[in-house]
Every structure is written in C-alpha cells, then in structure tokens.
Copies of this chain bind each other. A is one copy, B any other.
Amino acid sequence: MGKDRLAAFSDGVIAILITIMVLELKVPSGADWAALQGLAPSLLAYVLSFVYLAIYWNNHHHLLQTVVHVNGLILWANSHLLFWLSLVPAATAWMGQNLSAPLPTAVYGAALLMPAIGYYLLQLAIIRKQGAQSVLAKALGSDIKGKISPVLYAIGIVLAFVSPWVSIAIYALVAIMWLVPDRRIENAISRE
C-alpha cells in the first residue's frame, strides 16, 4: 500500500481542524471596542493552536517523506495521532474562554502532550517497519527536541495549578523551538 492516500487523508484532517478552530472565535455581540477586546483571549489561544497544528502538518509532511510503504501499524499509529490532534480545537476554545484559569490551562497542556506522544509512537511504527538502519532512525538521532517537548508540556500541566501564565509561556516556548523546520530528515535524505 502506498503512502499517498494516507498523506492526503492526514492533510485533510489537519486542514479541517485548523479551520474549524476559527468557528470557536464567537463573533462578539456588540460592535464596539469592548466587544472586540472580549475576543482577545480566544484569539491568543487560537494563534498558539494554529502555530501548533501548522508545525504538526509541516513535520508530518517531512516524516512521511521517509516512508515508502505503509502497514497496518503505521496506519493506526497515524489515526491515533489524528485523534489527539482532533481534541486541540475543543481544548483551545476552553482555554480561550477561561484564559489563565488553572484547569483549562492544564487541559490545554494535556491536549499538546497527547499528540506529542502520538507523534513519537508514529515514528516508532515507521522505524520498526524500516529497520534499525532506516533513514528516519538516522535522521532522528538522539531527537532532543522530541524528548524534551513532552517533559516541558508535563511541567506546564503541573504549573497551571500554580501559575497559569507560566504554563502558557512554556507552551509558546516549545512552539517557537519547533518553528525551525526539522532539517535532520531533509539532510538524512540528501545524504543517502
């Protein structure tokens, strides 16, 4: 089985998720600055989640480039990742409507942690099919970013109950860390 339809389906789901989040930007009921200001927290949460989903799309794009054939395990690891990504819009809306409230901030962190785990498992599934000498295994190397991110999310979740803004700063920091596109895979492919 080829990977094209898997890539197309994943792109479709991520494209829909990224745009469906916009529906949670409830149009303010007034027409003045106060109404617009009331939208600011939701907009902030939206920007952060938009960046996260764009990063996932981007890295998922690179990840699938290392794949030639897809097996059942990869298919389900991919669906598992998409499942957790699909909960991001709801978590974004909840945090946006209750910005700096402890529990919504912690839940948002969990909504970032779970896809990170899903992405890690998807990498494992791909490497397992390709074998230890796989392009992807070489490309990932020690994979510091991939290992440090879940730790930072977990810290953010715990800190949300102490100081929610620090958690949000951590979530933003991890996003910035990933904004640099992952050149490891590109390099590993060109080295082949």
Contact = CB atoms under 8 A, between A and B. Distances in A.
Chain A interface helix/strand/loop/mixed: helix
Contact of A19 (B13, B28, B72, B107): B13
Interface string A45-68: 001001000100110011001000
A79 B19 CA distance: 12
A122 to B, nearest CB: 14
Interface residues of A, number: 57
* Identical copies in the complex: 4
B22 A87 contact: yes
Contacts of A90: 22, 25, 27
A181 interface: yes
Interface of A: 1, 5, 7-9, 11-20, 22-25, 27-28, 31-33, 36, 47, 50, 54, 57-58, 61-62, 65, 72, 75-76, 79, 82-83, 86-87, 89-90, 93-94, 97-98, 101-104, 107, 179-181, 183, 186
